[in-house]
Amino acid sequence: MFAERTGDGYFLDVDWNRSALAQYGLSIEDAQNALSTAVGGDNVSTMIQGRARYPVNVRYMRDFRSDLDTLARVQISTTDKQIPLSEVATISTRNGPAMIRDENGMLTGYVFVDVVDRAIGDYVEQAQREVRNQLSLPPGYSILWSGQYESAVRVRQSLMLVVPVTFAIIVFLLYCNTRSLAKTAIVMLAVPFSAVGALWMVYALGYNLSIAVWLGIIALLGIDAETGVFMLLYLDLAYEKALRETKPLTRCRLYEAIVEGAATRLRPKLMTVATMSIGLVPILWSSGAGSEIMKRIAAPMVGGIVTSLLLELLVYPPVYALWRERALQQSPAQLEEEVIAVEGRGFGDAEPSVLRGLTPQGS
């Protein structure tokens, strides 16, 4: 951290006496021109040597303008005589800003801060608390946090609108495709599944939740919807096949159909994840211009795809089974037939939790 030196300029201050100037018939412009010509000089000609140009400047020699006493004797011409500068002005020196900066019409001084291995937002929040508790500003002074933090705040406000709108558009498109709120909700289960892996990957790589990370998460939403729709499609196809082949559809047959649909989806799912990983994982080891941003975009996508693969294969089928099972209006006689079918097909070694769900009494 370092503060800009705002008061290291050394200036000559001339305070004109307007009453004295009026007595000699001089205007402020006449007096200013006489002083600027004597001290700063005036270009009266230009010397030409080939392509070079050298201005010819006329002004007092250094001995006549090196201190306040000699400057006070600078002559100013009036209509009938010349008068010294000291008769019409007060000369002094003072310190001031070497460069005048302004923001929103107010004079500004900068304090520059480089933040390393820490989120800019967290640093600014702590710095704001310290400034409020330990710094008392004079009247007319204010503090504004700018730079990358200001840009991050603007983008954060945009993301608060973009992320919900993106999520709503995905939900709307899914509903238009499935025409079912239940199916849409099942597909959107992929969002928390992938969010787990995305956050784990970001944490493992030591990245902050920057704008690039949020862009990767937004891109991950679209991938989640795509893979979720495919999983639901395979489960629906297996369920419809079971409806055509088994009438009435029993709970046992429903489970078999769901397992069959999930197993059929396994190979396409693995191919999809492998293809995306082959394209994204090399970015995590990339270097060069733009690699830091691309790494933060790819990291949540890689982690989200992996956990989405596992959780979709493990959680989607049971959730789908619960939803379809509620639609089965089975009579006790059908349930008895189902228990006999389970015993006849060699399900004696099945999990107790499965058999509990197949008996009418639930035992």
Residue 275 maps to a domain = yes
Residue 230 maps to a domain = yes
Query: How many domains, in total, are found in the chain?
Result: 1
Cα 307 to Cα 313: distance, rounded to the nearest angstrom: 10
**Residue 224 pLDDT:** 79
Work out whether the CA dihedral 351, 356, 360, 363 comes out positive or negative. positive
What kind and span of H or E run contains 229?
helix 211-245
| pLDDT, greater one: 193 or 90 | 90
**Does residue 359 surpass a pLDDT of 70?**
no
Residue 124 maps to a domain = no
Q: CATH number of the domain at 301, please.
A: 1.20.1640.10
Residue 102 maps to a domain = no
Q: pLDDT of 51-75, one tens digit each? A: 999 999 888 888 887 788 888 888 8
Structural domain range at position 205: 155-243+252-325
Residue 116 maps to a domain = no
Does the pTM exceed 0.85?
Answer: no
Q: Which of 105-114, 158-167, 243-252 has the lowest mean pLDDT?
A: 243-252
Residue 148 maps to a domain = no
- CB proximity list for 35: less than 8 A, separation 6 or greater: 14, 74, 76, 85
Average pLDDT over residues 311-330: 78
Neighbours of 89 (CB within 10 A): 20
Residue 235 maps to a domain = yes
- CB proximity list for 40: less than 8 A, separation 6 or greater: 59
Token pair belonging to 123: 């640093």
Residue 81 maps to a domain = no
